[in-house]
Amino acid sequence: MGETNNRLIWFERAEHIAAERAIAEFRSGRPVIVTGTHGAIVALPVDGLTPGRLVSFRALCAPAQPQLVITAPRARAIGIEAARPVGLAIGENDGSAAILALVAEPRVERTPAILAAPPTAAAAIALAKLARYLPALLVADGAAIAAAASQPPLVTVSADAVAEFRQQAVASLAVAAEASVPLDGGLPARFVIFRDAIGGTSVAAIVGAPDFSRPVPVRLHSACLTGDAFGSRRCDCGDQLRLALRRLDRDGGIILYLEQEGRGLGLANKMRAYQLQDAGLDTLDANTALGFDDDERDYGVAARMLQMLGCREVLLLTNNPAKLDGLSRAGIEVSGRIGLQVPSNPDNRRYLAAKAARAGHQLDPVVAVAADGEPIGGETA
């Protein structure tokens, strides 16, 4: 292979490596330079911001004063009409706690002056989401910093590389390990562990002996630590998982256990959404108040897992029509749906009502009736 702009460096494209490193830098609380057709910015996630990191970032950006960039959903949550990311002016005396309040609290005492966010900031927001961080960043002009900051050098990634990364991560999916795991009641199962290029892990539990020549019953289950492992009453996730296993007892099927905690927000942000629900928001508005879409999941990983298992046509166990649409768009034929109606309780009744009324979940009308005054909780299963 000759020398080209797309030559392999080690085992992957240089652009893919840059995106992986940028995600790792964000997770470590370090800034990254993001380049695009509209110029370069230096960006630092607000998630995990400490007083020391804020001081260091301001020194890096000097003499310029960095601005805070938030998403359109977060802007609307604090009373700013917006259809794209918004910049907010921060003062020299604004500390890390005040900045975090601007991006995560249900109400803000003051709204800073609104600025034009640099277009490249959208790629930095996407990068923060890939890191499972809040989609809010401190940004400044990165052109001068890119030339001056050499000790240590800042990781640089292009906006195009960030945009392509999710698809590349799906394509990198590989089987890491598999083994037989007998389940309660003597139900046989084989667990297949999939890993992507940055260490993300998803699981296919092949229950019984499904016939792959016919539509295979499949449950796409977003990981829910609180519901699946601890029996949380704020959601119906654990109950749906156990009911799906019982449904697969006779003819077999597959449960895909996906790394999509909190509708794709990640566990820490799910807990932040719970706090907002306790303050009065419903399960969808809590996500958008944090700056996310109400559902951040896509089903490319699920489709790739099914294809690698040799499963091309499925009968989906779900109450969520978005899963049917998402899996179909990703290339899997969905021949039908089996509902999973589970009992409600006083702690999740309003949550179920929000899913039915606002997200179109096909729930038993009796289950979906809200009880006034009950706490809202949970994440969409």
End-to-end CA distance of the chain: 46
Count CB neighbours of 312 within 10 A.
14
Do 209 and 341 lie in a common domain? yes
Is residue 375 in a domain? no
Q: Which of 7, 19, 8 is CA-nearest to residue 197?
A: 19
The order of strands in the sheet holding 32-36 is 114-115, 86-89, 67-70, 136-141, 39-45, 32-36, 156-158
Residue type, 133: Y
Whether residue 372 lies inside any domain: the answer is no
The values of phi and psi at residue 335, to 5°, are: -90, -15
Q: Are residues 194 and 121 in the same domain?
A: no
- CB-CB contact of 156 with 32 (8 Å): yes
Check whether residue 72 and residue 95 sit in a common domain.
yes
Which of 75, 33, 40, 68 shows the shortest CA–CA distance to 54?
68
Q: Which residues of the chain fall below pLDDT 50?
A: 1-10, 366-381
Q: Interior CA angle at 9 toward 6 and 14, to 5°?
A: 55
Considering the domain architecture, whether residues 195 and 250 belong to the same structural domain is answered as yes
How would DSSP label each residue in 208-243?
A: S---TTSPEEEEEEE--IIIIIT--SS-SHHHHHHH
Answer whether residue 380 is part of any domain: no
How many other CB atoms sit within 10 Å of the CB of residue 174?
10
Residue 298 belongs to what domain range?
173-359
Q: Is residue 365 part of a domain?
A: no
* Total domain count, the chain: 2
Do both 183 and 162 map to the same domain? no
Q: Is residue 373 part of a domain?
A: no
Task: Check if the beta carbon of residue 342 is closer than 8 Å to that of residue 240.
Answer: yes
Distance of CA 273 to the CA centre of its chain: 13
Which amino acid belongs to residue 218? V
Q: Which of 135, 167, 199 is the last residue of a domain?
A: 167
Which amino acid appears at position 201 of this protein?
A: T
- 341: which 2 tokens? 């109606």
Based on the domain organization, do 185 and 132 belong to the same domain? no
Q: Is 162 in contact with 133 (CB distance < 8 Å)?
A: no
Tell whether 51 and 180 lie within a shared domain.
no
Catalytic machinery residues? 295, 297
Q: What is the pLDDT of residue 64?
A: 86
Closest CA to 162 of 121, 191, 201: 121
Is 35 within a domain?
Answer: yes
Let me know if 62 is exposed, middle or buried by CB neighbors in 10 A (0-12, 13-18, 19+). Answer: exposed
User: What distance in Å separates the CA atoms of residue 11 and residue 274, rounded to the nearest whole number?
Assistant: 41
Let me know whether 132 and 48 are in one domain: yes
Residues 192, 160, single domain; the answer is: no
- Report d(CA 219, CA 323) in Å as an integer: 10
CATH classification at residue 86: 3.90.870.10
Domain check: are 138 and 36 in the same one?
yes
- Contact by Cβ (8 Å): 68, 138: yes
CATH number of the domain within which 290 lies: 3.40.50.10990
DSSP, collapsed to helix, strand or coil, labels residue 186 as helix
Query: By C-alpha distance, which of 347, 378, 355 is closest to 225?
Result: 378
Residue 231 lies in a domain: yes
Is 377 a member of any domain?
no
Residue 370's pLDDT is 41
Residue 308 shares a structural domain with residue 343: yes
Instruction: Give the integer Cα–Cα distance in Å for 190 and 176.
Output: 14
Same domain, 97 and 216: no
